[in-house]
A and B are shown apart, each in its own frame.
Chain A
């Protein structure tokens, strides 16, 4: 079985400050992990993915995430927030060969000027 827990429903930051969105996962298999972003009334865009290669994964728009097996975590970070980063972020787990994605409940990132 697989599950994912996003530890914060809302995160508020000021523009130019670091972003940390937290995600813990559970998987019976060697997991594939993803972060997706969704801007209001838009589809989901893949930010980055972990697939058992490098544990530090770099994504688009300056985001990165670190896979920590001992902590079963896959937190998303960005050194400096931009107003355009305000959106809903989903942490997602799956496994190679499995078509079902298991979504977290989402974290809304608010960025203030």
Chain B
């Protein structure tokens, strides 16, 4: 299985809501990533998990809270978001060592009202 899955595909939330994005991979990868992508821009790295430990936080606001419950799952908890947080959120995974090619999921399109 060479697929990264993400749920939900679309999410609309108010600024006071709490929601979560989910990502799953079964390729045995031990590194997982969250990216944010605005329209007509490349993806921007948010977080990196290596062996279920947070290894990189790209100074992301605390209203985004990542979680890696096990080696196959990655969550992104959302709370008190702003309209400018509306974007496509992409999850990716890769081997921990060797060539760092990343495999991306289809993304969650988030709209904050």
Contacts and interface: CB of A to CB of B under 8 A. Distances in A.
Interface in A86-113: 90, 94-101, 103-106
Contact of A99 (B4, B43, B55): B55
21 contacts: A32-B100, A32-B101, A34-B101, A36-B104, A41-B107, A42-B107, A43-B4, A43-B6, A43-B106, A44-B90, A46-B101, A51-B99, A98-B100, A99-B31, A100-B45, A100-B48, A101-B102, A103-B42, A105-B42, A106-B41, A106-B42
Report the contact-size class of chain A (Cβ under 8 Å from the partner).
Answer: 20 to 34
A98 B88 CA distance: 24
Interface of B: 4, 6, 31, 33, 40-43, 45, 48, 50, 55-56, 88, 90, 92, 94, 97-107, 109
Contacts of B99: 32, 49, 51, 96
A45 interface: yes
